[in-house]
Amino acid sequence: MKLCEMTAYELSAALAERRVSAVEVVKAVFERIDAWEEELRCYITLDREGALAAAREVDAERAKGAKGTKGAKEANSRPLAGIPVAVKDNLSTRGLPTTCGSRHLQHYIPPYDATVIEKIRAAGMIVIGKTNMDEFAMGSSTETSGFYPTRNPWDTARIPGGSSGGSAAAVAAGEAVLALGSDTGGSIRQPAAFCGVVGLKPTYGLVSRYGLGAYGSSFDQVGPLARDVRDTAMLLQVLAGYDPLDSTSIHREVPDYLAALGGDVRGLVVGLPQEYFSPGIDSGVRAAVLAAVKVLEEGGAIIKEVSLPHTEYALAAFYLIAPSECSSNLARFDGIRYGYRAAGAPDTVTMFCRSRAESFGPEVKRRIMLGTYALSSGYYDAYYLKAQRVRTLVKQDFDKAFAECQVLVTPTTPTTAFRLGEKINDPLAMYMTDICTIPVNMAALPAISVPCGLVGGLPVGLQLIAPVLQEELLLRTAYYYEQAAAPLSHCPKPEPKPEPKPSSEVSK
Ligand code: GLN
């Protein structure tokens, strides 16, 4: 197997035993990038030099350690040292452009690292580059990126999902081993499902957002994307933990997520919310998810039908609250201190207006208008306040369901990956793709998407949802399922489209 297609866990062992060097691993990933990136476009920025330099440093450390006992110790304390990671482009990286997928920040180079970036660097992980995303994380397909869309490695005529589409496609294609994403309404889980990888949205407050480009601050969470559940647990271990720089950060000891794997699901009460298996869900997706439920049942889990009756209102409420928060968060992009500034404006206010009008894409403008309207005096009670009340009802539904069961199982998405261009001109159809993921963010819960087979050659995601801070239960259940079910082949080879022939050849 190619180095770039191995899991972080496998590579970690090979690196610790010095069967392979970090430089070799990084080179293998860049070889794959050189071969496939032109077709897939997972990245906005690549940092070949920086990655190789960091890999050399990890190798040198290991060589030093190998002389004493430090080598073994280091392998235990920094298991992900030397592992290549792709970073969503809304996470601040010192010295490396951070665009948030927007033309507004095309030339912005942050002077500081996000807390999660500090953590991955301290763990010895190698940042390969910054991945493509929907502009400011608003979207479900990477098509709202200010630069270009990313393509799904399983079928390059299709989208990889979004907004962390570049991260998911990179992991699926072997253009990275692990990746970071952010999830406001499904942006880690939905692209993970569409690309056949694992994505985890942690409990709100478990992972620091310091240095994350803010979209909907009461929902945003940073989390891992990986090829399997064990790798997901390993990366979450690095990311989780209290950060005084994020006021919503939870003060609590981080459990050992890797140790939580293993064991079975005997006696585990698994709830199936009936609203998530409605006729709106593609029949192939439903069948794949129900087959996964059967695997849990055969393992001894007790399957119970439950109801989350306010599910049908969650989407509408989300699309009032998230744009409201975004309209406030994006007010900072005024062209004064950083970001795009329109030239030639006669006064400051015109400069603000033109800078924003010229650099934001249509989806971001739509959200700012929606949010500003929902927050305006006279409409606040009717829209924003009412949406917040619905949010409470959605959360109470989950509280009631978790009184009856321990984990909820649903599809991650109502369909498999759709075609490029299919929904981009129909915002409502695009918003509907997050119908299964959004309620989880509204209730601040952790959830994971795990591949559960293919329908029409495209991956399907199984979503597991747990009560707040029960990531261990989530990972254990997902790991059990993954071990019991046949895994996907995780590196689909994107079929390059035939080159258009030069006209002279065509005429022959
Ligand atoms: N697709 C949803 C939106 O556009 C959620 C995106 C996200 O999770 N960042 O708002």
Average pLDDT, the chain: 94
CATH number at residue 124: 3.90.1300.10
In short, whether 187's Cβ falls inside 6 Å of ligand 1 is yes
The residue among 456, 465, 463, 464 whose CA lies nearest residue 416 is 456
153 and 105 part of one domain: yes
Q: How confident is the model at residue 105 (pLDDT cuts 50, 70, 90)?
A: very high
Measure Cα distances from 370 to 266, 365, 384, 387, 391 in Å.
Answer: 47, 9, 11, 13, 18
User: What's the whole-model pTM score?
Assistant: 0.95
Residues 316 and 302 in one domain: no
Does the structure show a pLDDT above 80 at 308?
A: yes
Q: Per-residue pLDDT for 417 more than 60?
A: yes
Query: Does a structural domain hold residue 60?
Result: yes
Asked if 249 and 105 sit in the same domain, the reply is: yes
Give nearest CA residue, ligand 1 atom 10.
138
| 327 among known catalytic residues | no
The first and second tokens of residue 348, run together, are 């400051």
Q: Are residues 301 and 315 in the same domain?
A: no
The answer to whether 88 is a known catalytic residue is yes
Averaged pLDDT for residues 3-26: 97
- Same structural domain, 263 and 146: yes
Ligand 1 pocket, 185 CB below 6 A?
Answer: yes
Q: Is the residue at 502 inside a domain? A: no
Look at residue 42 and tell me if it is in a domain: yes
Q: Which domain holds residue 319?
A: 311-375
Q: Which is nearest to 205 in space by CA: 164, 246, 253, 238?
A: 246
Q: Is 304 a catalytic residue?
A: no
The pLDDT assigned to 486 comes to 72
Q: Which of 434, 437, 440, 449 to mutate to test the pocket of ligand 1 (most atoms within 8 A of CB)?
A: 434
What pLDDT score was predicted for residue 488? 72
Average of per-residue pLDDT across 212-218: 98
From 347, 375, 403, the end of a domain falls on 375
pLDDT attached to residue 236: 98
Helices within 127-182 (DSSP H only): 165-173
Residue from 141, 182, 187 to probe ligand 1 pocket by mutation (most atoms less than 8 Å from CB) = 187
- What are the pLDDT digits (tens) for 439-458? 999 999 999 999 999 999 99
Q: Give Cβ neighbours of residue 69 (< 8 Å, ≥ 6 apart).
A: none
Q: Give residue 491's pLDDT.
A: 73
**Whether 335 and 435 share a structural domain:** no
One domain, residues 93 and 56: yes
- State if residue 322 touches ligand 1 by the CB under 6 angstroms criterion: yes
Indicate the pLDDT class of residue 504, thresholds 50, 70 and 90: very low
Q: Give domain status of residue 170, yes or no.
A: yes
Residues 56 and 157 in one domain: yes
Q: Is 281 within a domain? A: yes
| 173 and 258 both lie in a single domain | yes
At 508, the pLDDT band (50, 70, 90 cuts) reads very low
- Residue 503 in this model has a pLDDT that exceeds 50: no
Residues 149 and 289 in one domain: yes
Tell me: do 182 and 116 sit in the same domain.
yes
Q: Where is the domain boundary, 375, 403, 424? A: 375
pLDDT at 69: 55
Residue 300 lies inside a defined structural domain of this protein: yes
**201 and 305 share one domain:** yes
With cut-offs at 50, 70 and 90, classify the pLDDT of residue 68: low
Structural domain includes residue 500: no
Atom of ligand 1 nearest to the CA of 433: 1
Residue 506 pLDDT grade (very low, low, confident, very high; cuts 50, 70, 90): very low
In sequence order, the 6+-apart residues with CB closer than 8 A to the CB of 182 are 88, 90, 91, 137, 163, 164, 188, 212, 215, 220, 221, 222, 223
In a domain, 403, yes or no: yes
How many domains would you assign to the chain?
2
CA–CA separation, 101 and 140 (whole Å): 13
